[in-house]
Amino acid sequence: MISEEEARAKLLETVRPLPPRRLGILQALDCFAAEDYFARLPLPNFDNSAMDGYAVIASDSRHGAKLRVVGEQPAGADRQLRVSTGEAIRIFTGAAIPAGADAVLMQEDVTRNGDEIVVNEDVEAGEFVRKRGCDLSEGQKILSKGERIREATLGLLASQGLGEVCVGGEVRAAIVSGGNELMQPGAKLQPGQIYESNSLVLQALLERCGAVVGSSRHCSDDASALQTEFRAAIKNEVLIVSGGVSVGEHDLVQAALRSLGAKIDIWRVAIKPGKPFLFGRLGDCFLFGLPGNPVSAFVTFLQFVRPAILKMMGATDLDLPKVPAKLVVDLRNEEDRSHYVRGKLKNGNFAPVGRQESHALFGLSQSNALLRVAIGESLKAGDRVDVQMWD
C-alpha cells in the first residue's frame, strides 16, 4: 500500500497533456486554453456612449443651458460628427462619441424643443462616456494557458474577433463495470442481485470534467470476458474499470489487464474509502481500477482520475475547489489511511452526513463536500477546516 500523496504524484507525473486542437469558440466551452491569449483589441474599442441622450461639452452644459442639436450619431456607423460650444448631438448607447464632446447627457435630463434642448441637470466631463480601453487594454492577457474556458470567456474571445481557440486535447474514456451481481436498471432483480449504479455516476463525473465517454459496458467476473472488454476499451485514452480490483477470488481485473500486457504502476493506496485503487498503462491507454463500492468509486475518481484527466486536457488547476468551513463535530482518524468524510457544507458549517461506509450511497447522495482527515489527525467541533466541494 502506498500513501495517497505518493499515488497522486506518481500518476500525475505519468500522464501527459494530449496534443492541442483548434475548436470553434462555442465548442471550446469547458476546455482548457492551450496557449496564452492577449487582447488584439481594447475594450471598448472606441469611446462610446453609455446612454441614449446627447453628446455635449460638459463645461457649457450646466443646468438651464440651451444647446442646438446639430446631428445624430447612431450605434454602428461613425458619422464623423463634431460638437462645438453651444451644440449637442443626439446619440444612442454604443455609438461613437463625436469629436469635441466629452460627456453624454441622459435624455431623461433634458427637455427637447425642436432642434434645441434645455439642460435640466449638470453633467461632469466624462459622464456616460465609455472610454476606449477602460475595461481591457490592447495587449493585456485575456486567457492563460491551462485556464478553463467558461461561459464569459466565450464572450471575451468573441469580442476579440476570434472564431477559433486552441485548446487541450480531448480525453475519451471507456467505462467497464464488472460484477456478476450487477443488473441494469429496468431489469428484474433476482435474489442476490443489485442494480448497477457506478457507470452512470462515473459517466456524469467524466462529463463534468470535460471528458467524452467513448463506451460504457458491463462485464461479468470472467477473465476472458474482461479481456475482450479491455481489448476493445483501450482504443480510448482512458479506461475506467469499476469493481473486481480487490483481493477476492472474483476480483479478476488486475490479472486480466496483466495478461494483455498492462503495466500496473499503483495498486492499493492508503485512502479511505478506496484502498484497492489501481493505476496502470496498456499501450497508450491509462488504466484506472476503482473499487466497486459506490462511495469508493466516487472518492477515488475525484482524488485520482479527475486530476489525471484534467492534466491530460491541459488544465493547470487540478484540485477540487476548497472552501473554508467550521466543523460541527469532533473527528479523529486513528487508521493508517487518510479519510475522506462525506458531508454537507451549509452556511459555512460542515457536518458529516449519512453512514461513513464505502457502500453508503444514500449518505453520499446527501453530501456536497468532502473533508480529508489525515492519518492521526484529530479535529474538534468548531475547528476551521477546508473542505473540497464536489457539487
Q: Does residue 242 touch ligand AMP according to CB under 6 A?
A: yes
376: left (phi over 0), alpha (psi -120 to 50) or beta: left
Partner from Mg ion, ligand AMP, none binding residue 153, C-beta < 5-8 Å depending on class: none
Residue among 73 and 177 whose Cβ is closer to ligand AMP: 177
Residue 307, preceding peptide bond in cis (omega within 30° of 0): no
Task: Single out the residue of 244, 273, 289, 314 in contact with ligand AMP (rule: CB under 6 A).
Answer: 244
Task: Single out the residue of 243, 289, 307, 343 in contact with ligand AMP (rule: CB under 6 A).
Answer: 243
Give the total of residues touching Mg ion (CB under 5 A): 4
Q: Does residue 300 touch ligand AMP according to CB under 6 A?
A: no
Q: Does residue 294 touch Mg ion according to CB under 5 A?
A: no
**Cα dihedral: 358, 364, 365, 370 (round 10):** -150
Residue among 158 and 194 whose Cβ is closer to ligand AMP: 194
Task: Single out the residue of 44, 168, 169, 179 in contact with Mg ion (rule: CB under 5 A).
Answer: 179
Strand partners, 67: 117
What residues from 231 to 270 belong to the interface with Mg ion (CB under 5 A)?
243-244
- C-alpha 197/C-alpha 304 separation (Å) is 20
- C-alpha 75/C-alpha 57 separation (Å) is 20
Q: Does residue 197 touch ligand AMP according to CB under 6 A?
A: yes
Task: Decide if 280 contacts 268 (C-beta within 8 A).
Answer: no
Beta strands in 80-226 (DSSP E): 87-91, 103-106, 110-113, 116-119, 129-130, 141-143, 164-167, 172-178, 182-183, 194-195, 212-219
Q: Does residue 44 touch Mg ion according to CB under 5 A?
A: no
Cell numbers standing for residue 35: 496557449
What residues from 351 to 380 belong to the interface with ligand AMP (CB under 6 A)?
359
Task: Single out the residue of 4, 102, 109, 196 in contact with ligand AMP (rule: CB under 6 A).
Answer: 196
Instruction: Sort strands 87-91 and 66-73 into parallel, antiparallel or unpaired.
Output: parallel
Q: How far is CA 60 from the centre of its chain?
A: 51
Q: Does residue 210 touch Mg ion according to CB under 5 A?
A: no
Residue for grid cell 462555442? 26
Residue among 197 and 388 whose Cβ is closer to ligand AMP: 197
Residues that bind ligand AMP (CB under 6 A): 177, 179, 181-182, 194, 196-199, 242-244, 246, 251, 291-294, 359
